[in-house]
Amino acid sequence: MKAAALFVTLLLAVAGHVHALDIKPYSPQALNAAQQAGQRAALHFHAPWCPTCRAQESVFKGWQGDASVPGTLFVVDYDSARELRRHLGVRSQSTVIVYQGAKETARVAGVTAPGDLRAALTATR
């Protein structure tokens, strides 16, 4: 009986981790794959010179692997992604755009409060 309980606990831990926040560099192919699969995905337009971006990054890294914040956060290099910024109407670094599948569910810019960032990443609009 103990082995069965341990097995169920292990399965729940693994299942929770599968859907936990993952942070990856942006690529159009990876975002497209996540959207086509109907998964939650977010774009973080990050610039290394931006103090707001660094504050956001710190919050996001604290949630990495946290099942209460599901999905994938794709980090977009703000300085080099001019065409993507234009296409999505992104006007400032530190912008975060959240999708559920292909549907945009939240967009914030300049936000560093953990509660507000969590609300954006988990929005279902």
- What is the per-residue pLDDT for 46? 98
Amino acid at 113: A
- What is the per-residue pLDDT for 19? 74
22-73 pLDDT, tens per residue? 999 999 999 999 999 999 999 999 999 999 999 999 999 999 999 999 999 9
Question: What is the pLDDT averaged over residues 80-90?
Answer: 98
Residue 89 scores a pLDDT above 70: yes
- pLDDT grade, residue 125 (50/70/90)? confident
State how far the alpha carbon of 68 is from the alpha carbons of 29, 84, 110, 111, in Å: 26, 29, 23, 19
State how far the alpha carbon of 45 is from the alpha carbons of 7, 20, 25, in Å: 40, 21, 11
Q: How far apart are CA 28 and CA 31, in angstroms?
A: 5
The string over 87-97, giving b where at least 16 C-beta atoms fall within 10 Å of a residue's C-beta and e elsewhere, is ebebeebbbbb
Task: Give me the domains of the chain, ranges plus CATH numbers.
Answer: 2-122 (3.40.30.10)
